[in-house]
């Protein structure tokens, strides 16, 4: 039972504390902030996918009404503003670092994608800035463009960067190719599959925004930004871009309305606003228009893959071989290189005992927007490869797909389990999740449901996805050895205020995940204080200890563990104070539900009384410092490994190709759960995004011109409530073995599990082996027709 | 958007006068297409003559067996109007499926037909039901009103004032919506009534068109079976990211059958 009562402790579905302000329009987002004297920035962007800048005439723009300044790449170069770095060095198969061409915040000689930044106009109002921006005359020499990643490395393809011949960023391998070849030589059957992981546009509800501010009196900068990791943004801007001491920049990321990864990165616009604030000596504000979000937020996925799975006669997996071309876009975004390598190939074992795996990933540059982490980041791509090829293998081997998976599941007594692709899983029970999911969906009854659908003229299919993800990427020493430029620990500061309330400073950053609720529950439960007496502070490098932010489903497993560690320090210090007050020895003082008691007596002191004593230390132990304020840093020993089984059923109208997802069961093992309602919300959102990728969303560039064809909601289809069934959620629990909370993370699971479940279901309904996402009505109609004709 | 002068006249005459006094003026009804166009700076009219203040253009009434809908009546109003739902439920259903709630609460029938987007729903409604368009200058049949992609018979200074619908015996509108925009990829209105059997298709071609084959087949036998073999050529049909011409041609046959089944049912 939860310690501080059933309503607010660990395991309770506490309503989200932050929702009152969000639902009543009282959230405070970057665009809600207006600084005194602020001026507005408008970015002049490239209309071409690839062009040389022969000249920029800004004279007319500078004379336009309200204009304060117009800057180009030359102005930033004159101030020695550096290139936006990529923070993860991938070493290629020849031992060479990846090709890292420069990415200047404002283009210098060439523009490399539609939406690339050419100049900034700064004026008293946004309308005036935009007006002036339109008068910046850029003389372009158009160059041939390459938008198709599958053709980027081909001979004669247009070259994006001189520094990257053949448009190759890296050619990287993981695993032992010779061993895999030996396994394939012994195989009874090899399943082969080509697939495309479609490119996505993140579409956070809140567009990116920034306000750069400069204080001439102190020579200090402040940047308000829609960032998922303000400390990291500060570090990148100071150490790599501006060459500025870190004490001179404060980054504030207030309420942030969704990110899905796209707000991890250091972008040109916030860089320019910060730099320009000193140039014009006024705060400079920019908020993306939605069409700018489409063209210049870092996109997600975009893989072309060939995979082969070798099996023995019983369907036991002998080896897996995967070749992937990953599109990096025109420039390397902050963590782009890591996504299709260490966050992708490492997941290719999935829930299975495949003994040998070889992956070869070629990352290519194209004249498209940069591609980087997007909800799941590499793990959805890996899961899609694996759960699709396992499904196809089952159909080819004529083994029930559940049975084939079970024959290959890692068994509970095999943990900790070392995969052939670097990871060591700590714990899991994959049959248990499968059993529960099959029962919830009534797997046995599917044949009857299929008949009922057929009677209505519909094709029904069922699709399974048994996924695993690796969350809370760590420990720092390991990621460092793999090329990461940062540590991946987290910080927390737990501060008791004198009258007994608690302020928590966390390096995690909530942009929709409900940290204020979950973390408050954790603290209320651990310290035994009422939840309303707990305040969560995040997102301000001026007040929060250095932290690493929120991505990769890491906040509870890493950030929450740091809070738990800091709470432990608070309790231990308080115990000494309590012992002094109750004239007992420290060893005899017990702590439970917010009270310190001397064992075997009725003496007790509440933790609030201890806090007051710590700040008003009139009667106080001599060897204890005043105050009750503890900071902890937590560097995990390993990733966490949430896993589960999602099963969906679809009904297809063969006359139109319209596919309806009619049922969805999600059984997830997230370890210990602090707030089931918040977890369920994360699962719902993740599945919606996964279904979006599988059926609706597709970022399309014209392959010849490099123009973005899906640049608005008229053509880029987001999932709506009506596109989705009521999800049925089940949980299993094998607590994480190596963090103090036993938690694993839940934010990305749905987006990882869903796409293969949908495509497995649709191909099952159509009686085919394979199709590419998104399963649009026309595609499904054509496949249904081809199949019907072939059957005739 | 670029700056413009905003007018909000209270009468049709004043609206026409305001436009006449402008160097490059434009009428605005609900603004559901015009405002996004302005925001993207794809148009820069000198003057916007907002028709939203003209009371006479709003509302729904019956007149000599016809249902007359004022040009500035919103889609949401048409969708929930008791008279429309009783007399021409297919029209209420059509209005209820346009765009999203925000569009339905701002967008108007007059604005929609004056814009004549090839993927809009109302053109199929008017042509299929054999409606008459009333303007500030004249009355003309829906068949004559829609002349091509984003083109109508309206003169520059002519305002749609109302649309008069005869009451059909049977009618239904079935649409295959673009999953992103909810515009019609194909929409088919089928009606049987005083104007005979009429079948109108939107979304598939450059502008709304009638299906003569289907109309004659249904003239003798108003049932889905009668149109079972009606096929449309893909030649000249729209093709985009969401649907090829071939798929649209196929969908016309499917939506036609479903519309007839719904109307006959």
DSSP A98: P
Q: Average of pLDDT values for A392-401?
A: 98
Chain A residue with the nearest C-alpha to that of B248: A778
pLDDT digits (tens, 9 = 90+) for A201-210: 999 999 999 9
Closest CA to B69 of B169, B195, B162, B204: B162
Q: Average of pLDDT values for A273-286?
A: 98
Chain B residue with the nearest C-alpha to that of A700: B241
Cα A384 to Cα A759: distance, rounded to the nearest angstrom: 9
Query: Do the chains contact at A776 and B40, CB–CB below 8 Å?
Result: no
pLDDT digits (tens, 9 = 90+) for A482-539: 898 888 999 999 999 999 999 999 999 999 999 999 999 999 999 999 999 999 999 9
B111 phi-psi bin (left φ>0, alpha ψ -120 to 50, beta other): alpha
Residues of chain A positioned with their CB less than 8 A from the CB of B251:
656
DSSP symbols for A568-626: HHHHHHHHHHHHHHTT--GGGEEEETTEEEETTSS-EEEHHHHHHHHHS-SS--TTS-S
Query: Do the chains contact at B181 and A714, CB–CB below 8 Å?
Result: yes
Q: Which residue has the tokens 């980027």?
A: A152
List helix spans (H) across B154-199.
Answer: none
pLDDT digits (tens, 9 = 90+) for B89-127: 999 999 999 999 999 999 999 999 999 999 999 999 999
A707 phi-psi bin (left φ>0, alpha ψ -120 to 50, beta other): beta
Q: Which among A456, A715, A716, A789 is the top mutation candidate for probing chain B, defined by the most B β-carbons within 10 Å of its own β-carbon?
A: A715
Query: Do the chains contact at A776 and B179, CB–CB below 8 Å?
Result: yes
Residues of chain B positioned with their CB less than 8 A from the CB of A713:
180-181
Query: Do the chains contact at A710 and B241, CB–CB below 8 Å?
Result: yes
Query: Do the chains contact at B242 and A776, CB–CB below 8 Å?
Result: yes
Residues of chain A positioned with their CB less than 8 A from the CB of B244:
778
What is the reported pLDDT for B214? 97
Cα A279 to Cα A78: distance, rounded to the nearest angstrom: 12
- Taking the Cβ of residue B180 and every Cβ of chain A, the question of whether any pair is shorter than 8 Å is answered with yes
Cα A672 to Cα A10: distance, rounded to the nearest angstrom: 9
| Confidence check: pLDDT of A3 > 70 | no
- Taking the Cβ of residue B66 and every Cβ of chain A, the question of whether any pair is shorter than 8 Å is answered with no
What is the reported pLDDT for A700? 98
Q: Average of pLDDT values for A332-355?
A: 97
What is the reported pLDDT for A106? 98
* Phi/psi of residue B28, nearest 5 degrees: -130, 125
What is the reported pLDDT for A6? 52
Distances (CA, A) of B86 to A361, B58, B94, B166, B169: 63, 19, 14, 13, 12
In this structure, are strands A39-45 and A284-287 parallel, antiparallel, or unpaired? parallel
Query: Do the chains contact at A655 and B180, CB–CB below 8 Å?
Result: no
- Taking the Cβ of residue B229 and every Cβ of chain A, the question of whether any pair is shorter than 8 Å is answered with no
Closest CA to A278 of A128, A126, A76: A76
Chain A residue with the nearest C-alpha to that of B254: A655
Q: Average of pLDDT values for A30-38?
A: 98
DSSP B192: E
Looking at CA atoms only, how far is residue B160 from chain A in angstroms?
A: 27
Cα A677 to Cα A17: distance, rounded to the nearest angstrom: 13
**A with B: how many residue pairs have Cβ under 8 Å apart?**
38
Q: Which among A777, A779, A782, A785 is the top mutation candidate for probing chain B, defined by the most B β-carbons within 10 Å of its own β-carbon?
A: A777
A276 phi-psi bin (left φ>0, alpha ψ -120 to 50, beta other): alpha
* Phi/psi of residue A275, nearest 5 degrees: -65, -45
pLDDT digits (tens, 9 = 90+) for A725-770: 999 999 999 999 999 999 999 999 999 999 999 999 999 999 999 9
Cα A714 to Cα A300: distance, rounded to the nearest angstrom: 20
Distances (CA, A) of A418 to A173, A422, A427, A727: 19, 7, 11, 33
Residues of chain B positioned with their CB less than 8 A from the CB of A134:
41
- Rg of chain A in Å (alpha carbons): 27
- Taking the Cβ of residue A788 and every Cβ of chain B, the question of whether any pair is shorter than 8 Å is answered with no
Query: Do the chains contact at A715 and B179, CB–CB below 8 Å?
Result: no
* Phi/psi of residue A144, nearest 5 degrees: -60, 145
What is the reported pLDDT for B160? 98
Query: Do the chains contact at B179 and A717, CB–CB below 8 Å?
Result: yes
Residues of chain B positioned with their CB less than 8 A from the CB of A655:
254
Closest partner residue to A715 among B241, B247, B254, by Cβ?
B241
Cα A586 to Cα A506: distance, rounded to the nearest angstrom: 29
What is the reported pLDDT for A755? 98
Cα B200 to Cα A178: distance, rounded to the nearest angstrom: 65
Q: Average of pLDDT values for B63-77?
A: 97
Q: Which residue has the tokens 């259903």?
A: B93
Query: Do the chains contact at B244 and A134, CB–CB below 8 Å?
Result: no
Average pLDDT over chain A, rounded to whole?
96
| Confidence check: pLDDT of A1 > 60 | no
DSSP symbols for A352-378: B----EEEEEEEEE-SS--B---TTTT
Cα A756 to Cα A384: distance, rounded to the nearest angstrom: 5
Query: Do the chains contact at A717 and B180, CB–CB below 8 Å?
Result: yes
pLDDT digits (tens, 9 = 90+) for A150-192: 999 999 999 999 999 999 999 999 999 999 999 999 999 999 9
pLDDT digits (tens, 9 = 90+) for A424-469: 999 999 999 999 999 999 999 999 999 999 999 999 999 999 999 9
Closest partner residue to B247 among A658, A713, A778, by Cβ?
A778
User: How sure is the predictor about A791, in pLDDT bands with cuts at 50, 70 and 90?
Assistant: low
Residues of chain A positioned with their CB less than 8 A from the CB of B179:
696, 717, 723, 776-777
User: How sure is the predictor about A792, in pLDDT bands with cuts at 50, 70 and 90?
Assistant: low
**Cβ–Cβ under 8 Å, residues A337 and A169:** yes
- Taking the Cβ of residue B82 and every Cβ of chain A, the question of whether any pair is shorter than 8 Å is answered with no
Cα A196 to Cα B56: distance, rounded to the nearest angstrom: 56
- Taking the Cβ of residue B23 and every Cβ of chain A, the question of whether any pair is shorter than 8 Å is answered with no
């Amino acid at each position: 039972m939860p310690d501080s009562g059933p309503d607010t402790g660990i395991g309770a579905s506490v309503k989200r504390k932050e929702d009152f302000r969000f639902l009543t329009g009282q959230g405070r987002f970057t665009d809600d902030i207006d600084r005194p004297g602020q001026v507005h920035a408008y970015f002049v962007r490239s209309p071409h996918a690839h062009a040389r800048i022969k000249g920029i005439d800004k004279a007319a723009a500078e004379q336009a009404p309200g204009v304060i300044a117009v800057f180009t790449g030359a102005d930033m170069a004159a101030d020695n503003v550096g290139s936006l770095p990529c923070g993860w060095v991938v070493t290629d198969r020849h031992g060479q670092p990846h090709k890292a061409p420069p990415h200047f915040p404002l283009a210098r000689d060439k523009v490399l994608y539609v939406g690339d930044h050419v100049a900034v106009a700064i004026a008293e109002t946004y309308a005036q800035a935009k007006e002036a921006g339109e008068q910046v005359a850029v003389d372009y020499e158009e160059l041939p463009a390459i938008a198709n990643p599958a053709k980027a490395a081909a001979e004669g393809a247009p070259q994006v960067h001189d520094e990257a011949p053949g448009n190759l960023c890296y050619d990287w391998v993981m695993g032992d190719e010779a061993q895999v070849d030996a396994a394939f030589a012994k195989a009874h059957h090899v399943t082969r599959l080509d697939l495309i992981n479609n490119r996505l546009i993140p579409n956070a509800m809140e567009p990116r925004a920034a306000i750069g501010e400069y204080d001439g009196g102190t020579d200090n900068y402040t940047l308000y930004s829609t960032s998922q990791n303000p400390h990291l943004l500060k570090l990148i801007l100071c150490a790599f871009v501006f060459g500025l001491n870190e004490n001179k920049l404060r980054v504030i990321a207030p309420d942030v309305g969704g990110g899905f990864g796209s707000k991890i990165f250091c972008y040109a616009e916030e860089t320019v606003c910060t730099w320009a604030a000193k140039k014009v000596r006024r705060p400079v504000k920019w908020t993306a228009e939605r069409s700018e979000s489409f063209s210049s937020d870092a996109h997600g996925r975009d893989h072309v893959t060939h995979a082969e799975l070798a099996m023995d006669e019983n369907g036991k997996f002998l080896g897996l071989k995967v070749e992937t071309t990953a599109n990096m876009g025109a420039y390397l975004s902050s963590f782009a290189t890591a996504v299709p390598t260490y966050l992708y190939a490492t997941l290719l074992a999935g829930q299975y005992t495949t003994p040998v795996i070889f992956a070869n990933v070629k990352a290519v540059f194209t004249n498209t927007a940069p591609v980087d982490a997007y909800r799941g980041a590499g793990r959805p791509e890996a899961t899609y490869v694996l759960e699709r090829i396992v499904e196809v293998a089952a159909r080819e081997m004529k083994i029930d797909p559940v049975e084939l998976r079970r024959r290959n599941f890692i068994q509970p007594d095999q943990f900790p389990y070392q995969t052939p692709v670097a990871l060591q899983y700590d714990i899991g029970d994959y049959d248990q999740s499968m059993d529960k999911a099959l029962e919830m969906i009534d797997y046995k009854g599917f044949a009857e449901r299929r008949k009922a659908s057929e009677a209505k003229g519909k094709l029904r299919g069922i699709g399974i996805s048994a996924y695993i993800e690796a969350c809370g990427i760590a420990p720092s020493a390991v990621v460092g050895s793999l090329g990461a430029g940062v540590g991946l620990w987290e910080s927390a500061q737990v501060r008791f205020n004198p009258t007994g309330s608690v302020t928590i400073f966390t390096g995690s950053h909530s942009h929709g995940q409900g940290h204020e609720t979950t973390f408050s529950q954790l603290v209320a439960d651990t310290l035994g204080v009422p939840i309303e007496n707990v305040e969560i502070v995040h997102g301000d490098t001026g007040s929060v200890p250095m932290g690493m932010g929120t991505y990769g489903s890491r906040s509870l497993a890493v950030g929450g563990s740091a809070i738990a560690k800091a709470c432990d320090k608070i309790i231990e210090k308080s115990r000494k104070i309590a012992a002094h007050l109750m004239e007992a020895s420290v060893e005899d003082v017990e702590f439970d539900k917010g009270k310190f008691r001397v064992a075997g007596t009725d003496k007790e002191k509440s933790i609030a009384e201890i806090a007051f004593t710590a700040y008003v230390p009139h009667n106080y132990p001599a060897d204890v410092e005043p105050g009750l304020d503890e900071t902890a840093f937590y560097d995990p020993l390993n990733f966490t490994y949430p896993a589960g089984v999602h099963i969906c059923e679809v009904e297809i109208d063969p006359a139109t190709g319209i596919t309806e997802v009619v049922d969805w069961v999600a059984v997830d093992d997230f370890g210990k759960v602090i707030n089931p309602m918040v977890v369920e919300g994360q699962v719902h959102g993740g599945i919606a995004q996964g279904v979006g990728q599988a059926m609706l969303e597709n970022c399309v560039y014209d392959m010849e011109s490099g123009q973005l064809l899906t640049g608005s909601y008229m053509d880029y289809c987001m999932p709506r409530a009506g596109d989705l069934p009521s999800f049925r959620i089940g949980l299993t629990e094998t607590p994480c073995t190596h963090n103090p909370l036993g938690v694993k993370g839940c934010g990305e699971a749905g987006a990882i599990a869903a796409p293969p479940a949908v495509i497995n279901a649709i191909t099952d309904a159509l009686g085919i082996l394979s199709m590419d996402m998104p399963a649009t009505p026309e595609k499904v109609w054509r496949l249904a027709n081809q199949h019907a004709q072939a059957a005739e | 958007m670029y700056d413009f002068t905003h007018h909000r006249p209270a009468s049709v005459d004043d609206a026409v006068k305001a436009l006449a006094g402008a160097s490059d003026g434009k009428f605005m009804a609900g603004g559901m297409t015009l405002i996004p166009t302005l925001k993207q700076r794809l148009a820069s009219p000198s003057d916007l003559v907002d028709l939203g203040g003209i009371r006479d253009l709003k509302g729904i009434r019956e007149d000599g067996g016809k249902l007359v809908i004022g040009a500035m009546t919103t889609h949401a109003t048409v969708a929930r109007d008791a008279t429309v739902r009783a007399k021409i439920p297919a029209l209420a259903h059509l209005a209820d499926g346009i765009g999203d709630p925000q569009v339905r609460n701002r967008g108007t029938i007059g604005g929609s037909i004056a814009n004549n987007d090839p993927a809009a729903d109302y053109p199929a409604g008017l042509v299929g039901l054999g409606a008459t368009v009333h303007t500030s200058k004249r009355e003309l049949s829906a068949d004559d009103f829609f002349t091509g992609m984003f083109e109508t018979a309206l003169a520059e200074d002519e305002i749609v004032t109302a649309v008069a619908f005869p009451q059909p015996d049977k009618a239904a509108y079935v649409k295959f919506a673009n999953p992103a925009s909810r515009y019609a990829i194909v929409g088919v209105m089928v009606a049987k009534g005083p104007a005979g059997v009429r079948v109108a298709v939107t979304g598939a071609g450059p502008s709304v068109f009638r299906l003569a084959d289907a109309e004659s087949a249904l003239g003798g036998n108003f049932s889905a079976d009668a149109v079972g073999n009606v096929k449309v050529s893909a030649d000249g049909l729209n093709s985009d990211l969401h649907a090829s011409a071939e798929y649209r041609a196929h969908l016309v046959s499917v939506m036609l059958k479903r519309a007839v089944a719904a109307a006959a049912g």
